[in-house]
C-alpha cells in the first residue's frame, strides 16, 4: 500500500480549518438577534434550575465568572449575556435605555425557553432585571436578587453633577476613566484593602470592549430611570444585598429603598463591603445567594370568600401557576375582616 504523503502533509491544515469551523459554530450558537437586528452574546453553562445574571456598567458577562463557576458546579444552569454595546454584543448607536435592555433580556429568556428562573442583577444590571419584571412580569421567575443595584431612582437622591462628571470624564479619556473607577468600585482606596492588579486589569479589559456611545447613554439610563413602579410590581421573593461602604451606588438611595418598596423583600447589609463585592467577597455573596435559593418558600396570605381554589385564583398574583392551599383562618379585628387562606406556589 502506498502512502499519500500529500494528504499527510495537509492534515495539520485540515485539522486547523475544522477547529476554526467548530469555533465559529460555537460562537454563532452563543448569540441571538433581537428586534432591531443587534446581536446579543451570551454564555449558557450547565444544567438544572436556571440562574440568569445581568452585569453592571460598563462591564460584561465575564464579571460574573466567580458566580457562574460556583453555581454551575452546584447543579444550576447559569446564563449571562453581554448587554448591547458591551463586551461581544453588537454596538448599535441607539437603544441604550432600560426598556430596550429589558426587551433584549426578555428575548434571550424566551429564546432559551427558561422558566423557574433565579434572576440576579448587579448595579445597572439590577435596574435591567427590575425593569424586566415590571415590563414583562414574573411568569418565568421564581426568585430575584438585587446586588448593589441602582433602583429606585438614583438621580432623585444623588446630585446630577455627579453623573455629569462621569460623562465628561468618559468623553475626555475613557480608558483612564475606567482605570480610575476601579479604585472606589472595589474599595481599594480603603485602609487594609487587599488590592489586586489582576482584578483592576480585568475590569479595564471588560470596559474597553464596549462602545463609548453605549456607555455614555448608559450613565443616563442608570441614573435618570425611575424604577419605583417596577419594584412595586415584583411579586416574587426578592433578596437585596449591598455593602454599607458602597462608594458607587449609595445604600440609602438604593438597597434601603428597594427593601421598603418590595413586599416580602429580604435585606442583607454587609459592613465594609464595596460596590464590587461579588468579586472582592465572592465566597460570602455566593453562599448567601445559595442559601436564599434553597430557602423554603414563604407562605402567601390572601383574602378570599372561601377556601376554594377558584376564589384564590382571583387574588393570587401567580394565578397562572399551580399552587397549594396550606390553611385558612378568620380575622375579625377592626381593620380587616373576613376569611383568609394561606397559599404557596408549587414551583417556588
Full DSSP string of 12-58: HHHHHHHHHHHHHHHHHTTEEE-TTS-EEEEEEE--SSEEEEEPPTT
C-alpha cell at 288: 448567601
The one catalytic residue among 55, 215, 275, 281: 275
The one catalytic residue among 62, 104, 217, 246: 246
Q: Given CA atoms 82, 86, 92, 97 in this order, what sign does their dihedral have?
A: positive
pLDDT at 230: 97
Residue 140 and residue 115 in contact, taking contact as beta carbons nearer than 8 Å:
yes
Q: Are strands 50-54 and 77-81 parallel, antiparallel or unpaired?
A: parallel
∠ CA 200-201-204, rounded to 5° = 90
Q: How far apart are CA 285 and CA 67, in angstroms?
A: 9
Cell 484593602 belongs to residue: 193
In this structure, what DSSP letter does residue 118 have?
E
pLDDT at 197: 97
3-state helix, strand, coil in the chain (%, to 5): 45, 20, 35
The one catalytic residue among 102, 123, 149, 223: 123
Query: Is cis: bond before 50, omega within 30 of 0?
Result: no
Torsion angle defined by CA atoms of residues 283, 62, 31 and 28, in that order, rounded to the nearest 10 degrees = -110
pLDDT at 211: 97
Cell 399552587 belongs to residue: 323
Q: Which regions of 98-147 does DSSP assign to beta strands (E)?
A: 117-122, 141-147
Per-residue pLDDT of the chain (348 residues; tens, 9 = 90+): 454 555 455 555 554 444 444 443 343 349 999 999 999 999 999 999 999 999 999 999 999 999 999 999 999 999 999 999 999 999 999 999 999 999 999 999 999 999 999 999 999 999 999 999 999 999 999 999 999 999 999 999 999 999 999 999 999 999 999 999 999 999 999 999 999 999 999 999 999 999 999 999 999 999 999 999 999 999 999 999 999 999 999 999 999 999 999 988 999 999 999 999 999 999 999 999 999 999 976 544 443 334 444 444 444 444 444 444 433 333 333 333 343 334 444 444
Q: Is 102 helix (H, G, I), strand (E, B) or coil?
A: helix
Cell 442608570 belongs to residue: 222
Q: Which regions of the chain does DSSP assign to beta strands (E)?
A: 31-33, 39-45, 50-54, 77-81, 117-122, 141-147, 238-243, 266-270, 300-303, 323-332, 337-345
Q: How far apart are CA 273 and CA 182, in angstroms?
A: 14
Q: Which residues pair with 119 in a beta bridge?
A: 52, 144
123 is an active site residue: yes
pLDDT at 5: 52
pLDDT at 6: 53
Torsion angle defined by CA atoms of residues 111, 112, 118 and 122, in that order, rounded to the nearest 10 degrees = -60
- Directed axis angle between helix 98-112 and helix 124-135, to 10°? 70
Q: How far apart are CA 253 and CA 260, in angstroms?
A: 11
pLDDT at 264: 82
pLDDT at 298: 56
Torsion angle defined by CA atoms of residues 304, 309, 310 and 312, in that order, rounded to the nearest 10 degrees = 40
* pTM of the shown model: 0.79
Amino acid at each position: 500500500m502506498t502512502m499519500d504523503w500529500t494528504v499527510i502533509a495537509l492534515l495539520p491544515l485540515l485539522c486547523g480549518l475544522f477547529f476554526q469551523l467548530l469555533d465559529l459554530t460555537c460562537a454563532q450558537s452563543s448569540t441571538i438577534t433581537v428586534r432591531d437586528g443587534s446581536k446579543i452574546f451570551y454564555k449558557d453553562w450547565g444544567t438544572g434550575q436556571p440562574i440568569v445574571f445581568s452585569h453592571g456598567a460598563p462591564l460584561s458577562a465575564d464579571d460574573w465568572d466567580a458566580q457562574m463557576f460556583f453555581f454551575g458546579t452546584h447543579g444550576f444552569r447559569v446564563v449571562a449575556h453581554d448587554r448591547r454595546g458591551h463586551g461581544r454584543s453588537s454596538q448599535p448607536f441607539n437603544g441604550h435605555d432600560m426598556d430596550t435592555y429589558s426587551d433584549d433580556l426578555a428575548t434571550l429568556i424566551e429564546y432559551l425557553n427558561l422558566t423557574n428562573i433565579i434572576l440576579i442583577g448587579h448595579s445597572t444590571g439590577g435596574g435591567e432585571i427590575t425593569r424586566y419584571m415590571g415590563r414583562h412580569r414574573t411568569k418565568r421567575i421564581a426568585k430575584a436578587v438585587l446586588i448593589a443595584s441602582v433602583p429606585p431612582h438614583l438621580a432623585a437622591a444623588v446630585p446630577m453633577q455627579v453623573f455629569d462628571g462621569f460623562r465628561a470624564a468618559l468623553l475626555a479619556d475613557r480608558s483612564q476613566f475606567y482605570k480610575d473607577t476601579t479604585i472606589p468600585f472595589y474599595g481599594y482606596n480603603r485602609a487594609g484593602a487587599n488590592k489586586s492588579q489582576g482584578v483592576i486589569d480585568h475590569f479595564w479589559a471588560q470596559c474597553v470592549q464596549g462602545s463609548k456611545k453605549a456607555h455614555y447613554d448608559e450613565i443616563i439610563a442608570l441614573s435618570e430611570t425611575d424604577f419605583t413602579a417596577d419594584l412595586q410590581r415584583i411579586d416574587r421573593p426578592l433578596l437585596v444585598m449591598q455593602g454599607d461602604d458602597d462608594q458607587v451606588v449609595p445604600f440609602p438611595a438604593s438597597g434601603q429603598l428597594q427593601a421598603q418598596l418590595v413586599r416580602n423583600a429580604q435585606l442583607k447589609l454587609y459592613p465594609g463591603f464595596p460596590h464590587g463585592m461579588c468579586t472582592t467577597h465572592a465566597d460570602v455573596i455566593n453562599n448567601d445567594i445559595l442559601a436564599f435559593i434553597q430557602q423554603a418558600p414563604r407562605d402567601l396570605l390572601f383574602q378570599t370568600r372561601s377556601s376554594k381554589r377558584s376564589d384564590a385564583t382571583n387574588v393570587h398574583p401567580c394565578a397562572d401557576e399551580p399552587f397549594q392551599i396550606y390553611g385558612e383562618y378568620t380575622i375579625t379585628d377592626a381593620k380587616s375582616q373576613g376569611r383568609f387562606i394561606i397559599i404557596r406556589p408549587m414551583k417556588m
